[in-house]
Structure 1
Amino acid sequence: MKPYDPVKRGIDVVVGSAALILTAPLQAVLALVVRRKLGSPVLFRQLRPGKDGQIFELIKFRTMLEPDESQGLVADAQRMTPVGAFLRSTSLDELPTLWNVVRGDMSLVGPRPLLVRYLDRYTPEQARRHEVRPGVTGLAQVSGRNAITWDEKFVKDIEYVDHRKLLLDLSIVCRTLTQVVRRNGISAADDVTMPEFVGSRR
């Protein structure tokens, strides 16, 4: 634990709570749009590993149609809708995640929470990303988002774990806003989002 960590948590609570209140009208509108275009449920809920690998329920706006083999809706590219693509490219789908920040599941800045099934695929060094709370945005996201490789992402995650401080967090938030405006690195080269992580060479 670093001296900055309690300060970081305080910032998460104050800023996260304020952001939840300020974005409530926008979130209400987005919920109606998702309900009309994608149907129910409006929110996407999925278990993710957090600090120390503890499992929590991540909450976001839903961006994809439910899988349906009879209609050919299986792959992410087939299930993604124009509304969903817009929400992802603008990161508006992340607004409900502020509740995870206020609750303490996540931080505003940190390594992104990935899938539970990835836990046993990490090298010991990569697993260090769970030494801190996962973030709504992070160093890997502002260093290329989904346009960089998994190994490059994990290097950035560990760099953040080792060097986290207020100035770095402020820099990441500012760079995140720039990336959202430019909509850079939303997808990997051949995927709607990012290909599955199958493990690195040990």
Structure 2
Amino acid sequence: MYRKYFKRVIDFVLSLIAIIVLSPAMVTIAILVRTKIGSPILFHQKRVGKDEKIFTMYKFRSMTNEKNENGELLPDNIRLTRLGRILRSTSLDELPELINILKGDMSIVGPRPLLESYLPYYTEEERLRHSVRGGLTPPEVLYNDFTPTWDKQLEYEVHYAKNVSFLLDLQVVCATIKGVLARNNNDYGSYIREEIWDIREKRKDV
């Protein structure tokens, strides 16, 4: 009952309240991003949601659009700005995802919405992560694992998808409050992970 009906109602109500309450902070961040990083203020990207439906996810920009002499974007670690690291460490860059939650693309708690190009690299078991909406805050926070390997992240997410409940969501939200502080102390904002296809293609070659 919770998974099918109440979770969506809670997501809608809480995201609406959060957008209203946090609107001054979101406007302030938008001004800082426009001033320090440039336009556009929002980063948007196609992601995979519930039942593998594609939607557009929004975040505040954390990187510049700097390119090399060939017109190619520079590596992420070079384009990531100081403001961007702060936004990522505090998860403030993810505030625009509240709009995605309000629309029904995402949930407050759930697996991370990932790129469509990742789909061929999941096992059938791992694809169960798409049986629920992707979330603003992921289940990995329950394990104090802020930089999990791909295998671990997907394992956490499948376990969550199989065991969704109000109590589990409440535990994730509570762990997230503590986790944001830990992420900031560990300079999470500078963390850039190797792509899943690089890791799993290497595994095939072994």
TM-score by length of 1: 0.91
**1:61-114 per-position Cα deviation (integer Å, ceiling 9, x unaligned):** 000011411399611110100000000000000111000000000000000001
**Mapping 1:60-99, distance limit 5 Å:** 60-70=59-69, 74-99=74-99
**1:178 and 2:192 matched:** no
Structure 1 alignment gaps of length 5 or more: none
Question: Which deviates more, 160-169 or 2-11?
Answer: 2-11
Structure 2 alignment gaps of length 5 or more: none
**1:145-184 per-position Cα deviation (integer Å, ceiling 9, x unaligned):** 5422110111100110111100110110010111112226
Aligned positions, number: 199
Q: Name 1:163's counterpart in structure 2.
A: 163
**1:125 and 2:109 matched:** no
Tell whether the 8 Å contact from 1:147 to 1:186 is kept in structure 2 after alignment: no
The list of structure 1 runs, each at least 4 consecutive aligned residues, that deviate by more than 6 angstroms after superposition, is none
**Mapping 1:1-202, distance limit 5 Å:** 3-70=2-69, 74-183=74-183, 187=188, 192-198=191-197, 199=200
**Cα distance between partner residues in 2 of 1:62 and 1:167:** 33
**Cα distance between partner residues in 1 of 2:143 and 2:65:** 31
Tell whether the 8 Å contact from 1:43 to 1:60 is kept in structure 2 after alignment: yes
**Cα distance between partner residues in 1 of 2:90 and 2:37:** 18
TM-score by length of 2: 0.89
The change in CA–CA distance for 1:177 and 1:99 in structure 2 (over 3 A counts) is same
**Cα distance between partner residues in 1 of 2:101 and 2:187:** 22
Q: Which amino acid in 2 is paired with 1:58?
A: M
Question: What SS does the corresponding residue of 2:65 show, helix, strand or coil?
Answer: coil
Deviation at 1:192, TM superposition (A): 2.8
**1:11-55 per-position Cα deviation (integer Å, ceiling 9, x unaligned):** 000001000110001000000000000110000000001001100
Question: Which deviates more, 77-86 or 145-154?
Answer: 145-154
Q: Kindly, what percent of the aligned residue pairs are identical? A: 42
Question: What SS does the corresponding residue of 2:34 show, helix, strand or coil?
Answer: helix
Tell whether the 8 Å contact from 2:2 to 2:165 is kept in structure 1 after alignment: no
Deviation at 1:196, TM superposition (A): 0.4
RMSD across aligned positions (CA)? 2.2
Question: What SS does the corresponding residue of 2:58 show, helix, strand or coil?
Answer: strand
Q: Which amino acid in 1 is paired with 2:193?
A: M
**Cα distance between partner residues in 2 of 1:146 and 1:114:** 16
